[in-house]
Each structure stands twice: as structure tokens, then as C-alpha cells.
Amino acid sequence: MKKILFTMALGLLLTPLFANSSLTDGFITGNPEIGTINAMTFGPESILFIGDSKAAQIVAVDMSTAPKATNEKLNIPDIESVLSELLGADSDQLQIIDMVVNPANQNIYIGSQHSSGKSILFLVNNNTLEMVSLESVSYTKTDISNVISEEAKDRRGRSLRNLAISDVRYADGKVMLSGLSNTEFASTFRSISFPFTKKQDDSTLEIYHAAHGRYETASPIKTFTTTLINNEPHLIASYTCTPLVVFPLSELKSGKHTKGRTVAELGNANTPLDIIEMEKEGSRYILMANSNRALMKIKVSDIESFGDSLSTKVVERAGTSGIDFINLPFVNVQQLDKLNGEEFVYIQRSASGKLRLGKSNNRWL
């Protein structure tokens, strides 16, 4: 009886401790030494995950103490000039790498890289940009294993190391990232539990690329998201030239080689840049920004009803195949993210040549 009473008392004593536990428990304050900002995403509790290809690491930064920005009338007509004024540099010395929204407060963050190689994080606030210092933050991080070598080059002699992490998402307690590894089948999907442990699940990927007419294992997923397809968790991923592929998350297991199901070929000579999911009146839609094509809208229900997988080459150059899609009247969209349940934010090269940050809503759905 005494043992039972002691156990009950101990449980009552510890309950408040566990009730107040946070994913940021164990974070340290300091400089995470980020080499490059290659991809970003937010998880719960305003934790910003930064994929750093150069240092082969994932950094989790606590952004919960950042004040809420003012973005009700969001419109920056020339974001490059704002960046140039802030940094005292010409616009051709700066490149915007990624943009993400914190769903907890709708704060918008932009990752930029200077020609010197330095990566810089900015907060969008009241139609201007504020530099966010990463020299003293609350953070934790973990290395990723089997990354592609810093000396690896593509057929044109360009470094492949920046593709060690091509995209990153958080879902169901895991940080998920796509990129290249140093294994025989270089295209790799990684899943890392959070809070971080030493365990990392890697699976190599294979897809049928209808524009090329062959199966491929060397090109990484360029952008992806997770969603339910026929009530099962799936990865929706897009690659350069532009196959759209789905992978059941249940099949992406550590050490396993997984073949995706190619549900569409959306046209070659193009690189997908960002992919998000929006909803309207109970229907779900995928929006995808592209380097050389308009913003695409795809119904999730069309993916669900397409039971086939493309396995023959698209003969016509720039031709498409598989599920239907609609080109929305947004061209040259370079960054895209969901702002809230009804709106999305984007960065777009306008007809004037200026890089504009703005927002739109689900009336396009």
C-alpha cells in the first residue's frame, strides 16, 4: 500500500513538470554557426528549422519570443532595393533563397545569401525588412549523415553540395528533408525525430521521369509537402523538368529503396520552386511555383483518383501527361508559402523587372 501511495504521490508531483514541458527544453543559447540557409520550415512552438547544406546540419531555432510583425497590408514592390539599402550592396550580390511563414503568428521570414557566401535571415515587418541576428539565439541542431561530397560536380561542373538539402518540412514529430547523399542512389529522403536524437532514417528514391523517358535515382526532390491521399499520409514531390510524384510515407523506411508513383509530367525545361496545400469549401488544392512556368493549381482529389503511374515517355517537347492542372495568372513566382487558411504569400518577378512581395487568397481555388 505504501508503495502504491508513493507512486501516486510521485505521479502527482511530476505531472506539472510534464504538463509544462516544451520541445525547446534542452535548447542552448549561442551561435549555431550556420554555413548556408538552403531551406526553411516551421514546426510547432514557433520553431524554425533551417537546412544548412554547407555544414550538413539541421538547425532548430526558437522564434517564439519574436514580436508579431505588422503585415495586414502586405506589399513590397521592390524587395531587392530594400535588401540593397539594408546591406549596402548591389542587388546582383544578393539572392533570396527561401521564404517561410510562422503559422503561430503569421510572421514572414526570408533567407538570403550574399555573393560572399554569407547567409542572412530577415523578418518582413510593416512592408520593410528587418535583419534577424542568428549570432545569439536559443537553438539545437543535428548533423546529417552520408551527405554528398563538397567536391562533387554535375555534368556542367557545378557544385552539388548545395543540394545536400533541397527542401525541408516538419510533420508528425519528424523533420523531413530531401537532397543528395553520397550513396549509389543519390536521391535521398531523410526523416529525423524531433527533439533530435542520433537516429536518422534515410531512404533512397527512384522515379520514372516521363520527360526523359527513363527511371532516375540521381536527381533530388526539389520541393515537397505532406498530405493525406485516400486517407493515408503521403509525400507529394516535384523534381526538375517537372515530374510530380507521390510516395506513401509508410514506405519511406530507413535503408529502403523506394519507387515513387509518377502521377504527372508538368513540362520540361523547368524547376519547381515551392509547393503548398490550400483548402476551400472542403476541397484541397496543391499550388506549385516554378522557375519557367506559371503558378500551377492541382486538385488533390485528382491525385487520389489517378490510380496509374506514368511509364512512357512524353514525346512532344514541353508536353504534359497524367493528371490535369491549371496555370494560374501568376508568372515568375520565385517563393511561395501559406499565410493562413485563406491567403498565401509570394515573391514574384514583375513585368517591370522588380521583385515584388505580395499576397493573394483562395478565390483562385
Mean pLDDT for all residues in the chain:
93
Q: 3-state DSSP call for residue 360?
A: strand
DSSP state letter for 365: -
* 348 burial type by CB count under 10 A (0-12 exposed, 13-18 middle, 19+ buried): buried
**pLDDT tens per residue, range 160-219:** 999 999 999 999 999 999 999 999 999 999 999 999 998 999 999 999 999 999 999 999
pLDDT on residue 155: 87
pLDDT on residue 11: 45
Asked if pLDDT for residue 18 goes beyond 90, the answer is no
CA–CA distance, 104 with 225 (Å, rounded to integer): 19
pLDDT on residue 117: 85
pLDDT on residue 251: 96
Scan for cell 550580390, then name that residue.
93
Segment 93-104 shows an average pLDDT of 95
Segment 62-71 shows an average pLDDT of 96
CA–CA distance, 172 with 176 (Å, rounded to integer): 10
Under a CB-based contact definition with an 8 Å cutoff, are residues 146 and 183 in contact? yes
pLDDT on residue 1: 40
Domain boundaries defined on the chain: 35-143, 152-328
Residue ranges of the alpha helices (H) in the chain?
2-19, 79-87, 300-305
**pLDDT tens per residue, range 112-144:** 998 888 899 999 999 999 999 999 999 999 999
Residues 6+ apart with CB under 8 A from 101: 42, 107, 108, 109, 337, 338, 339, 345
Q: What is the DSSP string of 108-152?
A: EEEEEEETTS-EEEEEEETTEEEEE--SSEEEEEEE-SSBPPTT-
Under a CB-based contact definition with an 8 Å cutoff, are residues 23 and 195 in contact? yes
The grid coordinates listed for 298 are 492541382
pLDDT on residue 47: 98
Split at pLDDT 50, 70, 90, the class of 92 is: confident
